[in-house]
Protein backbone atom coordinates (compact mmCIF):
# COMPACT_ATOMS: atom_id res chain seq x y z
CA UNK A 1 0.00 0.00 0.00
CA UNK A 2 2.80 2.36 0.83
CA UNK A 3 4.47 1.59 -2.45
CA UNK A 4 1.21 2.14 -4.32
CA UNK A 5 0.52 5.43 -2.59
CA UNK A 6 3.93 6.97 -3.24
CA UNK A 7 3.43 7.50 -7.01
CA UNK A 8 0.09 9.15 -6.38
CA UNK A 9 1.72 11.44 -3.86
CA UNK A 10 4.38 12.40 -6.38
CA UNK A 11 1.74 13.07 -9.01
CA UNK A 12 -0.16 15.28 -6.61
CA UNK A 13 2.96 17.36 -5.87
CA UNK A 14 3.61 18.17 -9.54
CA UNK A 15 0.75 20.68 -9.95
CA UNK A 16 1.91 22.48 -6.80
CA UNK A 17 5.43 22.83 -8.14
CA UNK A 18 4.12 24.04 -11.50
CA UNK A 19 1.93 26.60 -9.77
CA UNK A 20 4.90 27.84 -7.75
CA UNK A 21 6.91 28.35 -10.92
CA UNK A 22 4.07 30.20 -12.66
CA UNK A 23 4.00 32.87 -9.96
CA UNK A 24 7.30 34.41 -11.14
CA UNK A 25 6.05 35.85 -14.47
CA UNK A 26 3.04 37.32 -12.68
CA UNK A 27 5.39 38.98 -10.19
CA UNK A 28 7.47 40.47 -13.02
CA UNK A 29 4.42 41.92 -14.75
CA UNK A 30 3.22 43.35 -11.46
CA UNK A 31 6.63 44.91 -10.83
CA UNK A 32 6.43 46.71 -14.17
CA UNK A 33 3.04 48.04 -13.14
CA UNK A 34 4.58 49.28 -9.89
CA UNK A 35 7.31 51.02 -11.89
CA UNK A 36 4.68 52.72 -14.03
CA UNK A 37 2.63 53.77 -11.00
CA UNK A 38 5.70 55.21 -9.27
CA UNK A 39 6.86 57.04 -12.40
CA UNK A 40 3.42 58.56 -13.03
CA UNK A 41 3.16 59.67 -9.40
CA UNK A 42 6.61 61.29 -9.59
CA UNK A 43 5.84 63.06 -12.88
CA UNK A 44 2.49 64.26 -11.53
CA UNK A 45 4.10 65.47 -8.31
CA UNK A 46 6.84 67.43 -10.09
CA UNK A 47 4.35 69.02 -12.50
CA UNK A 48 2.01 70.10 -9.71
CA UNK A 49 4.92 71.40 -7.59
CA UNK A 50 6.20 73.48 -10.51
CA UNK A 51 2.75 74.98 -11.09
CA UNK A 52 2.42 75.68 -7.35
CA UNK A 53 5.74 77.51 -7.12
CA UNK A 54 4.87 79.64 -10.13
CA UNK A 55 1.50 80.50 -8.59
CA UNK A 56 3.18 81.62 -5.37
CA UNK A 57 5.70 83.64 -7.36
CA UNK A 58 2.86 85.24 -9.32
CA UNK A 59 1.17 86.18 -6.04
CA UNK A 60 4.32 87.92 -4.78
CA UNK A 61 4.82 89.81 -8.05
CA UNK A 62 1.18 90.88 -8.19
CA UNK A 63 1.28 92.28 -4.66
CA UNK A 64 4.57 94.06 -5.30
CA UNK A 65 3.16 95.82 -8.35
CA UNK A 66 -0.09 96.94 -6.71
CA UNK A 67 -1.18 99.08 -3.79
CA UNK A 68 -2.77 96.14 -1.99
CA UNK A 69 -1.74 96.36 1.70
CA UNK A 70 -2.42 92.66 2.34
CA UNK A 71 0.38 90.24 3.10
CA UNK A 72 1.12 87.47 0.63
CA UNK A 73 -0.20 84.74 2.93
CA UNK A 74 -3.63 86.42 2.98
CA UNK A 75 -4.22 85.99 -0.75
CA UNK A 76 -6.10 83.10 -2.34
CA UNK A 77 -3.47 82.70 -5.06
CA UNK A 78 -0.69 82.05 -2.57
CA UNK A 79 -2.75 79.53 -0.60
CA UNK A 80 -3.75 77.77 -3.81
CA UNK A 81 -0.09 77.42 -4.65
CA UNK A 82 0.67 76.18 -1.14
CA UNK A 83 -1.95 73.40 -1.27
CA UNK A 84 -0.81 72.39 -4.75
CA UNK A 85 2.77 72.28 -3.48
CA UNK A 86 1.77 69.97 -0.61
CA UNK A 87 -0.13 67.76 -3.07
CA UNK A 88 2.85 67.58 -5.40
CA UNK A 89 5.29 66.71 -2.64
CA UNK A 90 2.94 63.98 -1.40
CA UNK A 91 2.87 62.56 -4.92
CA UNK A 92 6.66 62.49 -5.13
CA UNK A 93 6.91 61.01 -1.62
CA UNK A 94 4.44 58.22 -2.40
CA UNK A 95 6.22 57.39 -5.67
CA UNK A 96 9.24 56.11 -3.71
CA UNK A 97 7.02 53.40 -2.18
CA UNK A 98 6.27 51.85 -5.58
CA UNK A 99 9.27 52.28 -7.89
CA UNK A 100 13.02 51.90 -7.32
CA UNK A 101 14.93 54.90 -6.04
CA UNK A 102 17.18 55.09 -9.12
CA UNK A 103 14.12 55.47 -11.35
CA UNK A 104 12.33 58.18 -9.35
CA UNK A 105 15.24 60.57 -8.72
CA UNK A 106 16.10 61.48 -12.35
CA UNK A 107 12.44 62.29 -13.04
CA UNK A 108 12.91 65.63 -11.25
CA UNK A 109 13.88 66.96 -14.69
CA UNK A 110 10.13 67.19 -15.31
CA UNK A 111 9.91 70.17 -12.94
CA UNK A 112 12.60 72.03 -14.90
CA UNK A 113 10.77 71.35 -18.17
CA UNK A 114 7.45 72.46 -16.67
CA UNK A 115 8.97 75.68 -15.30
CA UNK A 116 10.45 76.50 -18.70
CA UNK A 117 7.13 75.94 -20.49
CA UNK A 118 5.16 77.94 -17.92
CA UNK A 119 7.69 80.78 -18.19
CA UNK A 120 7.27 80.91 -21.98
CA UNK A 121 3.45 80.76 -21.82
CA UNK A 122 3.06 83.52 -19.22
CA UNK A 123 5.70 85.85 -20.68
CA UNK A 124 4.45 89.41 -21.00
CA UNK A 125 6.67 90.64 -23.83
CA UNK A 126 5.62 90.36 -27.46
CA UNK A 127 8.10 88.74 -29.82
CA UNK A 128 8.21 88.32 -33.54
CA UNK A 129 8.39 84.67 -34.65
CA UNK A 130 12.06 84.87 -35.65
CA UNK A 131 13.07 86.66 -32.45
CA UNK A 132 11.03 84.22 -30.37
CA UNK A 133 12.70 81.18 -31.93
CA UNK A 134 16.13 82.80 -31.62
CA UNK A 135 15.51 83.58 -27.96
CA UNK A 136 14.02 80.23 -26.94
CA UNK A 137 15.58 77.75 -29.33
CA UNK A 138 17.79 76.33 -26.57
CA UNK A 139 14.80 75.96 -24.27
CA UNK A 140 12.85 74.01 -26.89
CA UNK A 141 15.82 71.76 -27.65
CA UNK A 142 16.42 71.23 -23.92
CA UNK A 143 12.76 70.36 -23.30
CA UNK A 144 12.84 67.84 -26.15
CA UNK A 145 16.00 66.21 -24.84
CA UNK A 146 14.64 66.07 -21.29
CA UNK A 147 11.44 64.40 -22.53
CA UNK A 148 13.43 61.83 -24.52
CA UNK A 149 15.65 61.17 -21.51
CA UNK A 150 12.60 60.74 -19.27
CA UNK A 151 11.12 58.20 -21.71
CA UNK A 152 14.34 56.18 -21.70
CA UNK A 153 14.49 56.31 -17.90
CA UNK A 154 10.95 54.98 -17.51
CA UNK A 155 11.39 52.33 -20.22
CA UNK A 156 14.78 50.97 -19.17
CA UNK A 157 14.66 51.76 -15.45
CA UNK A 158 15.62 49.13 -12.84
CA UNK A 159 12.99 46.56 -11.97
CA UNK A 160 14.02 45.51 -8.46
CA UNK A 161 11.20 45.40 -5.91
CA UNK A 162 10.98 44.23 -2.33
CA UNK A 163 8.76 45.00 0.61
CA UNK A 164 10.17 47.64 2.91
CA UNK A 165 9.85 45.65 6.11
CA UNK A 166 11.99 46.37 9.15
CA UNK A 167 14.05 43.22 8.54
CA UNK A 168 14.83 44.16 4.93
CA UNK A 169 15.77 47.73 5.84
CA UNK A 170 18.04 46.56 8.66
CA UNK A 171 19.66 43.99 6.38
CA UNK A 172 20.43 46.65 3.77
CA UNK A 173 21.66 49.06 6.43
CA UNK A 174 24.37 46.70 7.73
CA UNK A 175 25.40 45.31 4.33
CA UNK A 176 29.05 45.83 3.43
CA UNK A 177 28.42 47.64 0.07
CA UNK A 178 26.40 50.34 1.79
CA UNK A 179 28.76 50.58 4.78
CA UNK A 180 31.69 51.11 2.41
CA UNK A 181 29.74 53.65 0.37
CA UNK A 182 28.62 55.45 3.52
CA UNK A 183 32.20 55.61 4.82
CA UNK A 184 33.42 57.15 1.57
CA UNK A 185 30.59 59.69 1.65
CA UNK A 186 31.44 60.71 5.23
CA UNK A 187 35.11 61.23 4.34
CA UNK A 188 34.30 63.26 1.23
CA UNK A 189 31.66 65.30 3.10
CA UNK A 190 34.09 66.16 5.91
CA UNK A 191 36.78 67.22 3.45
CA UNK A 192 34.37 69.41 1.49
CA UNK A 193 32.99 70.92 4.69
CA UNK A 194 36.54 71.73 5.88
CA UNK A 195 37.41 73.55 2.66
CA UNK A 196 34.06 75.33 2.66
CA UNK A 197 34.12 76.51 6.27
CA UNK A 198 37.83 76.85 7.11
CA UNK A 199 39.37 77.76 3.75
CA UNK A 200 36.41 79.83 2.51
CA UNK A 201 36.17 77.79 -0.69
CA UNK A 202 32.76 79.10 -1.71
CA UNK A 203 32.76 77.39 -5.08
CA UNK A 204 29.41 76.31 -6.46
CA UNK A 205 30.62 72.76 -7.07
CA UNK A 206 31.70 72.35 -3.43
CA UNK A 207 28.41 73.67 -2.02
CA UNK A 208 26.27 71.61 -4.36
CA UNK A 209 28.37 68.50 -3.68
CA UNK A 210 27.50 68.93 0.01
CA UNK A 211 23.85 69.21 -0.99
CA UNK A 212 24.11 66.12 -3.21
CA UNK A 213 25.74 63.97 -0.53
CA UNK A 214 23.07 64.94 1.99
CA UNK A 215 20.39 64.43 -0.65
CA UNK A 216 21.56 60.88 -1.37
CA UNK A 217 20.93 59.96 2.27
CA UNK A 218 17.62 61.82 2.20
CA UNK A 219 16.20 59.79 -0.69
CA UNK A 220 17.42 56.53 0.87
CA UNK A 221 15.52 57.30 4.07
CA UNK A 222 12.50 58.63 2.15
CA UNK A 223 12.11 55.32 0.31
CA UNK A 224 12.44 53.39 3.57
CA UNK A 225 9.79 55.53 5.31
CA UNK A 226 7.40 55.57 2.35
CA UNK A 227 7.80 51.82 1.78
CA UNK A 228 7.19 51.04 5.46
CA UNK A 229 4.00 53.10 5.44
CA UNK A 230 2.79 51.26 2.32
CA UNK A 231 3.49 47.85 3.88
CA UNK A 232 1.66 48.95 7.03
CA UNK A 233 -1.36 50.02 4.95
CA UNK A 234 -1.35 46.65 3.23
CA UNK A 235 -1.75 44.90 6.57
CA UNK A 236 1.74 44.24 8.01
CA UNK A 237 2.41 46.89 10.63
CA UNK A 238 5.92 48.38 10.46
CA UNK A 239 5.41 51.62 12.38
CA UNK A 240 6.23 49.99 15.71
CA UNK A 241 9.78 49.15 14.63
CA UNK A 242 12.69 51.33 15.88
CA UNK A 243 14.32 51.34 12.43
CA UNK A 244 11.31 53.23 11.04
CA UNK A 245 11.81 56.13 13.45
CA UNK A 246 15.57 56.09 12.92
CA UNK A 247 14.99 56.52 9.20
CA UNK A 248 12.37 59.20 9.86
CA UNK A 249 14.74 61.27 12.02
CA UNK A 250 17.56 60.91 9.48
CA UNK A 251 15.21 61.98 6.68
CA UNK A 252 14.18 65.17 8.50
CA UNK A 253 17.73 66.05 9.61
CA UNK A 254 19.35 65.57 6.20
CA UNK A 255 16.53 67.48 4.49
CA UNK A 256 17.00 70.46 6.83
CA UNK A 257 20.77 70.63 6.35
CA UNK A 258 20.33 70.13 2.63
CA UNK A 259 17.98 73.12 2.48
CA UNK A 260 20.47 75.17 4.53
CA UNK A 261 23.35 74.62 2.11
CA UNK A 262 21.02 75.19 -0.83
CA UNK A 263 19.96 78.54 0.62
CA UNK A 264 23.60 79.54 1.04
CA UNK A 265 24.30 78.63 -2.58
CA UNK A 266 21.32 80.69 -3.77
CA UNK A 267 22.80 83.77 -2.07
CA UNK A 268 26.08 83.44 -3.95
CA UNK A 269 25.17 82.08 -7.38
CA UNK A 270 22.50 82.32 -10.03
CA UNK A 271 19.49 80.01 -9.79
CA UNK A 272 20.09 78.69 -13.32
CA UNK A 273 23.54 77.41 -12.39
CA UNK A 274 22.21 75.89 -9.18
CA UNK A 275 19.42 74.11 -11.07
CA UNK A 276 21.62 72.52 -13.73
CA UNK A 277 24.68 71.63 -11.64
CA UNK A 278 22.60 70.62 -8.63
CA UNK A 279 20.42 68.33 -10.72
CA UNK A 280 23.41 66.55 -12.23
CA UNK A 281 25.29 66.10 -8.94
CA UNK A 282 22.24 65.18 -6.86
CA UNK A 283 20.97 62.65 -9.40
CA UNK A 284 24.37 60.99 -9.70
CA UNK A 285 24.80 60.72 -5.93
CA UNK A 286 21.23 59.46 -5.40
CA UNK A 287 21.53 56.76 -8.10
CA UNK A 288 24.82 55.61 -6.55
CA UNK A 289 23.17 55.43 -3.13
CA UNK A 290 20.22 53.46 -4.49
CA UNK A 291 22.52 51.04 -6.30
CA UNK A 292 24.48 50.30 -3.10
CA UNK A 293 21.71 50.38 -0.48
CA UNK A 294 18.74 48.84 -2.29
CA UNK A 295 20.78 47.04 -5.01
CA UNK A 296 18.56 48.55 -7.70
CA UNK A 297 20.57 47.19 -10.63
CA UNK A 298 21.03 43.67 -9.26
CA UNK A 299 20.05 41.17 -11.96
CA UNK A 300 19.68 43.79 -14.71
CA UNK A 301 21.30 43.06 -18.07
CA UNK A 302 23.97 45.28 -19.59
CA UNK A 303 21.66 46.67 -22.30
CA UNK A 304 19.12 48.01 -19.81
CA UNK A 305 21.85 49.58 -17.67
CA UNK A 306 23.47 51.26 -20.70
CA UNK A 307 20.13 52.59 -21.98
CA UNK A 308 19.29 53.87 -18.50
CA UNK A 309 22.66 55.65 -18.31
CA UNK A 310 22.03 57.12 -21.79
CA UNK A 311 18.65 58.42 -20.61
CA UNK A 312 20.34 60.10 -17.63
CA UNK A 313 22.92 61.77 -19.87
CA UNK A 314 20.25 63.03 -22.28
CA UNK A 315 18.21 64.40 -19.36
CA UNK A 316 21.35 66.09 -17.97
CA UNK A 317 21.98 67.77 -21.32
CA UNK A 318 18.36 68.87 -21.62
CA UNK A 319 18.32 70.48 -18.16
CA UNK A 320 21.64 72.20 -18.90
CA UNK A 321 20.30 73.72 -22.14
CA UNK A 322 17.08 74.87 -20.47
CA UNK A 323 18.89 76.63 -17.63
CA UNK A 324 21.57 77.94 -19.98
CA UNK A 325 18.98 80.06 -21.76
CA UNK A 326 17.81 81.94 -18.68
CA UNK A 327 18.68 85.58 -18.26
CA UNK A 328 21.19 86.39 -15.57
CA UNK A 329 20.15 89.11 -13.09
CA UNK A 330 22.02 92.40 -13.23
CA UNK A 331 23.96 92.92 -9.97
CA UNK A 332 23.13 95.98 -7.89
CA UNK A 333 25.76 98.73 -7.88
CA UNK A 334 25.82 100.73 -4.62
CA UNK A 335 27.37 103.84 -6.20
CA UNK A 336 26.90 106.13 -9.17
CA UNK A 337 29.21 105.34 -12.04
CA UNK A 338 30.61 108.78 -12.89
CA UNK A 339 32.25 107.65 -16.12
CA UNK A 340 28.92 106.30 -17.37
CA UNK A 341 27.31 109.75 -17.28
CA UNK A 342 27.06 111.56 -20.63
CA UNK A 343 29.69 114.26 -20.92
CA UNK A 344 31.64 113.06 -17.85
CA UNK A 345 35.19 112.07 -18.69
CA UNK A 346 37.38 109.68 -16.81
CA UNK A 347 40.08 110.77 -14.42
CA UNK A 348 42.83 112.64 -16.35
CA UNK A 349 41.41 111.12 -19.60
CA UNK A 350 43.46 107.95 -18.95
CA UNK A 351 40.55 105.56 -18.54
CA UNK A 352 40.75 105.40 -14.73
CA UNK A 353 37.29 105.55 -13.19
CA UNK A 354 36.66 107.93 -10.30
CA UNK A 355 34.38 105.43 -8.54
CA UNK A 356 35.71 102.11 -7.18
CA UNK A 357 34.73 98.66 -8.30
CA UNK A 358 32.52 96.38 -6.20
CA UNK A 359 35.59 94.66 -4.82
CA UNK A 360 36.80 97.90 -3.23
CA UNK A 361 35.25 100.15 -0.59
CA UNK A 362 31.57 101.03 -0.87
CA UNK A 363 32.27 104.58 0.33
CA UNK A 364 31.07 107.11 -2.19
CA UNK A 365 33.86 109.11 -3.83
CA UNK A 366 36.73 106.97 -2.43
CA UNK A 367 39.65 106.54 -4.80
CA UNK A 368 40.85 103.05 -5.50
CA UNK A 369 44.39 102.08 -4.48
CA UNK A 370 45.66 101.34 -7.96
CA UNK A 371 49.38 100.62 -8.14
CA UNK A 372 49.27 100.69 -11.94
CA UNK A 373 48.43 104.42 -11.83
CA UNK A 374 51.17 106.64 -13.28
CA UNK A 375 53.36 108.29 -10.69
CA UNK A 376 52.56 111.81 -11.83
CA UNK A 377 48.89 111.29 -10.92
CA UNK A 378 49.41 109.79 -7.48
CA UNK A 379 49.00 111.93 -4.36
CA UNK A 380 52.28 113.40 -3.12
CA UNK A 381 53.39 113.99 0.47
CA UNK A 382 56.23 116.02 1.89
CA UNK A 383 59.65 114.35 1.95
CA UNK A 384 59.98 115.24 5.63
CA UNK A 385 56.92 113.16 6.47
CA UNK A 386 58.37 110.24 4.60
CA UNK A 387 61.74 110.48 6.45
CA UNK A 388 60.05 110.61 9.84
CA UNK A 389 57.83 107.62 9.20
CA UNK A 390 60.18 105.57 7.06
CA UNK A 391 61.10 103.08 9.78
CA UNK A 392 60.97 99.36 9.15
CA UNK A 393 58.38 98.70 11.83
CA UNK A 394 55.76 100.93 10.16
CA UNK A 395 53.83 99.63 7.17
CA UNK A 396 54.10 101.45 3.87
CA UNK A 397 51.47 104.13 3.07
CA UNK A 398 48.58 103.01 0.89
CA UNK A 399 49.73 105.28 -1.97
CA UNK A 400 53.21 105.68 -3.36
CA UNK A 401 55.05 108.93 -2.70
CA UNK A 402 56.48 111.00 -5.53
CA UNK A 403 59.46 113.19 -4.68
CA UNK A 404 59.94 116.18 -6.98
CA UNK A 405 63.53 117.20 -7.59
CA UNK A 406 64.72 120.78 -7.70
CA UNK A 407 65.34 120.54 -11.44
CA UNK A 408 61.61 120.15 -12.02
pLDDT in tens, 165-197: 999 999 999 999 999 999 999 999 999 999 999
Domain coverage including residue 205: 162-295
Q: Is residue 393 part of a domain?
A: no
Structural domain contains residue 311: no
| CA 315 to chain CA centroid, nearest Å | 14
Report the C-alpha gap between 166 and 259 in whole angstroms: 28
Q: Are 300 and 309 in contact (CB under 8 A)?
A: no
Number of alpha carbons in the 13 Å side-chain half-sphere of residue 377: 15
Structural domain includes residue 239: yes
Structural domain contains residue 243: yes
Helix 176-197 × helix 204-233 angle, to 10°: 140
Report pLDDT for 170. Answer: 94
Q: Give me the number of domains the chain comprises.
A: 1
Angle ∠(97,102,106) on CA atoms, nearest 5: 105
Q: Is residue 171 part of a domain?
A: yes
CB 54 within 8 A of CB 115: yes
Under the banding of pLDDT at 50, 70 and 90, the label for residue 272 is confident
**Per-residue pLDDT band at 135 (split at 50, 70, 90):** confident
Residue 193 covered by a domain:
yes
d(CA 180, CA 84): 40
Taking the CA of residue 175 as centre, how many other CA atoms within 13 Å lie in the half-sphere pointing to its CB? Answer: 16
CB 314 within 8 A of CB 148: yes
* pLDDT, position 371: 42
> Which SS3 state, helix, strand or coil, does residue 361 take?
coil
> Which one, of 167, 158, 291, lies nearest residue 231 by Cα?
167
Residues 63/70, Cβ–Cβ less than 8 Å: yes
Is position 387 within any domain? no
Pair 118, 322: CB distance under 8 Å: no
Q: Is 72 part of any domain?
A: no
pLDDT single digits (tens) 339-360: 444 544 444 444 444 444 444 3
Least confidently predicted of 21-30, 152-161, 176-185, 309-318 = 21-30
Give the global pTM: 0.71
Amino acid sequence: MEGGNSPSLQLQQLPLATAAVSVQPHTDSFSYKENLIGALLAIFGHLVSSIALNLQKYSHIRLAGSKDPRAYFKTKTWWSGFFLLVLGELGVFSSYAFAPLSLIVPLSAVSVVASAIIGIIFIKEKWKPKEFLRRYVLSFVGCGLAIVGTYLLVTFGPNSHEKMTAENITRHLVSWPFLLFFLVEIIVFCLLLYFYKERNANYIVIILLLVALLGSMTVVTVKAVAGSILVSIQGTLQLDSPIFYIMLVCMIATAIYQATFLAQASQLYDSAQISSIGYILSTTAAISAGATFYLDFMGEDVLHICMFALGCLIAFLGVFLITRNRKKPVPFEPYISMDAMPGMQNMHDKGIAVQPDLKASFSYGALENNDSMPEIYTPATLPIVQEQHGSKGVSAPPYRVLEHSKKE
